[in-house]
């Protein structure tokens, strides 16, 4: 296990329980190379994701008082997507501190974006468990201050359908499917409603003035639902099959 003194300095916090930080840096791959059960960082990752969501949701709510759920959800998803979290992990030097299996080490696990993003969330979870909400919140705001300050007046996600596909296919080989379920209004002002499904199960719906916009909003609402606190770690959609 590496000496974590310098890493804690980069975090701006000294852990009372250093084992929590060690756990946050332990990749799940190590469980396959030891005799008996071996703890790793997935539980802390789950917790850290929830803390990130609530802290950043509050900041966006305060920063954009005139925008409704749609733009706020887009901004939050842009801040916490896997690529963005991996960037924060690299900036902290997380890769150097990870505890990996031999196979994961050989295959470039220290620089893998998914491993860095997961470890970043796990570190947030460890900060929350060791220091409480205020400590975790202060760390998150330090990390995201530039991102929050650089958001546009009405934040947007460049590719919500692509982000949803990436999230779903991390746990399943199946891609999401989009269906238009209704089109209402006069020809010059149509409103389309679209549903997004995964393995035949409805994830979310969205509306827009064309099919593409409706699909994008459906993907956006699905991302928000799957990343909300209490959503399962693996992608298991709610049991609402569409006929």
Do you know the residue count of the chain? 243
- Return the exposure string of 77-115: e unless at least 16 CB atoms fall within 10 Å of the residue's CB, then b: bbbbbbebbbbbbeebebbebbbbbeebeeeebbebeeb
Rounded Cα distance between 233 and 139, Å, is 23
Does the pTM exceed 0.75? no
Just list the catalytic residues: 49, 121
**Could you report the average pLDDT of every consecutive run of 10 residues in the chain (243 residues)?**
80 94 91 70 94 94 81 84 91 91 83 91 97 96 86 63 86 90 84 92 89 88 75 43 42
What is the model's pLDDT at position 233?
A: 44
Rounded Cα distance between 13 and 136, Å, is 10
What is the model's pLDDT at position 105?
A: 83
- Return the exposure string of 7-26: e unless at least 16 CB atoms fall within 10 Å of the residue's CB, then b: beeebebebeeeebbbbbbb
C-alpha 38, offset from chain centre: 25
Q: Which domains does the chain have, with CATH numbers?
A: 5-149 (1.10.1520.10), 160-226 (3.30.160.20)
Tokens found for residue 88: 């924060």
């Amino acid at each position: 296990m590496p000496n974590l003194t310098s890493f804690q300095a980069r975090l701006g916090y000294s852990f009372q329980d250093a084992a929590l930080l060690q756990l946050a840096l332990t990749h799940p791959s190590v469980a396959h190379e030891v005799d008996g059960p071996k703890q790793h960082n997935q539980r802390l990752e789950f917790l850290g994701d929830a803390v990130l969501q609530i802290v950043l949701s509050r900041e966006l709510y305060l920063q954009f008082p005139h925008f409704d759920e749609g733009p706020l959800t887009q901004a939050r998803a842009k801040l916490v997507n896997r690529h963005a979290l991996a960037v924060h992990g690299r900036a902290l030097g997380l890769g150097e501190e990870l505890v990996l299996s031999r196979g994961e080490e050989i295959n470039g696990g220290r620089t893998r974006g998914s491993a860095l993003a997961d470890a970043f969330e796990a570190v947030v979870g460890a900060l929350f468990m060791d220091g409480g909400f205020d400590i975790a919140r202060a760390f998150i705001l330090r990390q995201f201050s530039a991102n929050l300050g650089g958001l546009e007046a009405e934040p947007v996600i460049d590719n919500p359908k692509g982000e949803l596909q990436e999230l779903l296919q991390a746990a399943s080989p199946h891609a999401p499917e989009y269906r238009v379920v209704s089109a209402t209004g006069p020809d010059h002002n149509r409103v389309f409603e679209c549903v997004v499904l995964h393995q035949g199960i409805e994830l979310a719906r969205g509306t827009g003035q064309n099919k593409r916009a409706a699909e994008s909003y459906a993907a956006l609402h699905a991302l928000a639902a799957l990343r909300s606190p209490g959503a399962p770690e693996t992608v298991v959609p709610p049991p609402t099959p569409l006929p």
